[in-house]
């Protein structure tokens, strides 16, 4: 379960100081990856938009809380072990594998508290979560989820470390995830060291564009390009 190429925690912290849209724009400037497929859609949303960005290693698994009577194995024990084995900030990723996603619920106060104690900074799931206020009081733990569901149903966690797909984004354990109020994206490992400088270049270009747009000689024919919005 250990990630094969650990990244210095100061590099992850540098990414966490950047907002997600700016980081997404910075990734584009390298022209190495497709424009689509690496970011979640609006079917998964940030539930604590006032928190700062989070960045960490993905810890993947699947969950099913909507199959009545289904019995599982010691999935949670394996998940806690996986979290304990990988150092640095982590984001738990739970792909819903049940038969009724809109009624699924994969995390609440107790699970979020355990995740946070084991170094997680957030949870990503295409299913539901609950205990919104209680988890908020933990401080510094983010929820990215499809929505809120009041009851946990028949919750099971399994396939720890398996590749998963959330909102069209393929995620493996050890991938770098970044998210804030705007959403969540996967960050290519080979760009991590260069992204802070690229992000500052993006910010400076946007600052110059906004100054021009607000100036007295503004013309719509000189408006922002597609990369400047």
How many domains in the chain?
Answer: 1
Position 1 in a domain: no
Count of Cβ atoms closer than 10 Å to residue 101 Cβ? 17
Whether residue 192 lies inside any domain: the answer is yes
What torsion do the CA atoms of 159, 166, 53, 10 make, to the nearest 10 degrees? 50
Q: In this structure, what CATH number is given to the domain that contains residue 173?
A: 3.50.30.40
Report yes or no on 214 lying in a domain. Answer: no
Q: What is the pLDDT of residues 148-191, one digit of tens each?
A: 999 999 999 999 999 999 999 999 999 999 999 999 999 999 99
Q: What is the mean pLDDT of residues 17-34?
A: 97
Tell me, yes or no, if the pTM score tops 0.85. yes
CB 192, CB 88: distance < 8 Å:
no
Residue 88: domain span: 9-198
pLDDT of 109-155, one tens digit each? 999 999 999 999 999 999 999 999 999 999 999 999 999 999 999 99
Rounded Cα gap, residues 142 and 47, in angstroms: 7
119 touches 89 (CB < 8 A): yes
206-220: pLDDT as tens digits: 999 888 888 887 776
Tell me whether residue 228 is in a domain.
Answer: no
**Residue 209: inside a domain:** no
Tell me, yes or no, whether 161 lies in a domain.
yes
Examine residue 215 and state whether it is found in any structural domain, yes or no: no
Q: Is residue 99 part of a domain?
A: yes
- Give the pLDDT band of residue 106 (cuts 50, 70, 90): very high
Tell me the three state secondary structure of residue 57. strand
């Amino acid at each position: 379960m250990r990630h094969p190429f650990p990244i210095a925690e100061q590099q992850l912290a540098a990414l966490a100081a950047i907002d997600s849209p700016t980081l997404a724009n910075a990734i584009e400037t390298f022209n190495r990856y497709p424009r689509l497929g690496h970011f979640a859609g609006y079917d998964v949303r940030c539930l604590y938009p006032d928190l700062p960005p989070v960045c960490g290693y993905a810890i993947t698994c699947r969950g099913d809380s909507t199959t009545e009577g289904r019995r599982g194995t010691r999935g949670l024990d394996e998940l806690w072990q996986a979290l304990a084995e990988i150092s640095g900030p982590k984001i738990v990723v739970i792909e819903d594998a049940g038969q009724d996603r809109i009624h699924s619920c994969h995390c609440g106060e107790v699970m979020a508290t355990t995740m946070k104690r084991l170094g997680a900074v957030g949870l990503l799931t295409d299913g539901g979560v609950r205990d919104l206020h209680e988890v908020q009081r933990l401080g510094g733990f983010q929820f990215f989820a499809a929505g809120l569901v009041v009851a946990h149903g028949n919750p099971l966690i399994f396939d720890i470390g398996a590749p998963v797909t959330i909102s069209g984004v393929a995620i493996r354990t050890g991938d770098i995830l970044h998210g804030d109020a705007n959403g969540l994206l996967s960050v290519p490992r080979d760009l991590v060291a260069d992204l802070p400088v690229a992000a500052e270049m993006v910010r400076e270009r946007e600052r110059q564009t906004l100054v021009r747009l607000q100036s007295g000689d503004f013309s719509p024919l000189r408006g922002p390009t597609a990369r400047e919005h």
